[in-house]
Structure 1
């Protein structure tokens, strides 16, 4: 993988150096959301937001698999269902 595009399509991280991927749980007035975040090139970045923790975990797993086994030029964070 050469680049990661955020879920809202506003940012593309070109040749990111992934140091850490994690899920941050946030309680909002309308419910709980799960943010997939990463430490990229020593900066904390929001990659995508999901309503279900299982979906956030699945996306995080897909991102790791894609990073190590794929030659895709850009990995686009999927939309929430």
Structure 2
């Protein structure tokens, strides 16, 4: 998780470009088990749009939510 948090901190002072956001989502996909498939779905949507504004709901705040799903203990 350190690598991802460092990337977010590194970019926190500026507007993220499309490639930077995709890099963060790809890093998250590699670093977490993605229990709800939300990271995979978000990455697929971000890769399919021409402009980030066209991605309806997959922004960094949604990535944070998906990572939290992986960090919470499984209560099944």
TM-score normalized with structure 2 length? 0.35
Flag the structure with higher strand content.
1
TM-score normalized with structure 1 length? 0.33
